[in-house]
């Protein structure tokens, strides 16, 4: 069968610093049957010039500009409304694909028609592109506790046709919500290959909006937990996620309440690694917990609760 077309959406807002590298990582893919849709969300820096230059460079690159800033989920919806691919993905303007990323994920989905969404491991890098360690993605079954999918993924158009657009009211939690909506409807697969470079820098949303992100996730999770969608382990993991985040925000009473609700949903969950971060943060505080995670990392151990 012919190679399926992959649509890659790349939203950006004032992302000129790293945007060229992100686009080049798409151009350098070993898999060639792709289209790249650049969505400029009303940038005021050099982003429009960069987008225009690359759109002229390769006919596979398309672009669209928002006249007013509409935030990430709206930019994703704009991009995917233009997509023509049989398989879909999106990437950030400060991250990069490894050269074989699309090829590896396309090959897997073509060979495994029962899988709807595939995602991979990645590496952290600093602002200069230096390697800062490997990120091993959690398994799909842990999705109610943390966003297992991360930044490198590929999914079938059927997923979008089934669950619809990204929720424009869930800025900072739009991708996590998207995967949770797909959680009970499609099979996910973790591909144990390092296919992505995730950049850590001071201007990234994960660094500038950590508290707002936790609150956005809380709002989203409470909507899910108000419905009879999850039972047992999945429900308990969601409450443990909320307990962990509340403890990190120094909201100890909320953390205790969520922790107890996890125990009611599935008592065994309180004796797993997912339960540990909450009492540790309540006892040591967020800074003490951060020091403990750092110490564990230096000893070569991954401390529970280090994910997103």
Instruction: Say yes or no to pLDDT of 89 above 50.
Output: yes
Instruction: Say yes or no to pLDDT of 172 above 50.
Output: yes
Domain ranges in the chain?
Answer: 6-207, 230-298
| β-pair type (188-199, 117-125) | parallel
User: 19-43 pLDDT, tens per residue?
Assistant: 999 999 999 999 999 999 999 999 9
> In the prediction, which pLDDT does 283 show?
83
User: 187-223 pLDDT, tens per residue?
Assistant: 999 999 999 999 988 777 666 678 999 999 999 999 9
* Residue 303 pLDDT level (bands cut at 50, 70, 90): very low
> In the prediction, which pLDDT does 205 show?
67
Query: What average pLDDT does range 225-230 have in this prediction?
Result: 89
Query: What average pLDDT does range 275-297 have in this prediction?
Result: 71
> In the prediction, which pLDDT does 300 show?
43
User: 97-107 pLDDT, tens per residue?
Assistant: 999 999 999 99
User: 74-84 pLDDT, tens per residue?
Assistant: 999 999 999 99
Report the predicted TM-score, pTM, of the whole model to 2 decimal places: 0.92
CATH of region 6-207, choose from 3.50.50.60, 3.90.550.10, 3.90.320.10, 3.90.1720.10: 3.90.550.10
> In the prediction, which pLDDT does 207 show?
62
């Amino acid at each position: 069968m012919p190679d399926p077309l992959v649509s890659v959406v790349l939203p950006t807002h004032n992302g000129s610093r790293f945007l060229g590298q992100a686009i080049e990582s798409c151009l350098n893919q070993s898999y060639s049957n792709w289209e790249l849709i650049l969505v400029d969300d009303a940038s005021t820096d050099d982003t429009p010039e960069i987008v225009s230059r690359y759109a002229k460079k390769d006919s596979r690159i398309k672009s669209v500009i928002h006249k007013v800033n509409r935030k990430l989920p709206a930019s994703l919806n704009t991009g995917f409304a233009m997509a023509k691919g049989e398989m879909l993905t999106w990437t950030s303007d400060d991250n990069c694909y490894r050269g074989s990323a699309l090829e590896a994920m396309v090959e897997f989905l073509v060979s495994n028609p029962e899988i709807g969404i595939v995602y991979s491991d990645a590496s952290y890098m600093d602002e200069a592109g230096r390697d800062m360690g490997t990120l091993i993605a959690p398994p799909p079954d842990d999705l109610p506790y943390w966003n297992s999918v991360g930044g490198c993924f590929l999914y079938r158009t059927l997923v979008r046709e089934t669950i619809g657009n990204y929720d424009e009211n869930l800025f900072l939690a739009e991708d996590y919500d998207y995967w949770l909506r797909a959680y009970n409807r499609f099979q996910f697969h973790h591909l144990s290959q390092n296919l992505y470079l995730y950049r850590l820098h001071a201007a990234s949303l994960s660094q500038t909006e950590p508290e707002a992100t936790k609150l956005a996730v809380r709002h989203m999770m409470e909507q899910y937990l108000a419905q009879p969608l999850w039972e047992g382990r999945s429900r308990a993991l969601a409450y443990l996620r909320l307990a962990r985040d509340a403890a990190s925000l120094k909201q100890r009473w909320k953390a205790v309440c969520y922790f107890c609700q996890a125990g009611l949903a599935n008592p065994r969950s309180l004796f797993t690694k997912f339960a540990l971060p909450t009492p540790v943060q309540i006892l040591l505080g967020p800074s003490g917990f951060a020091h403990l995670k750092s110490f564990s990392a230096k000893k070569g151990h991954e401390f529970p609760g280090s994910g997103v």
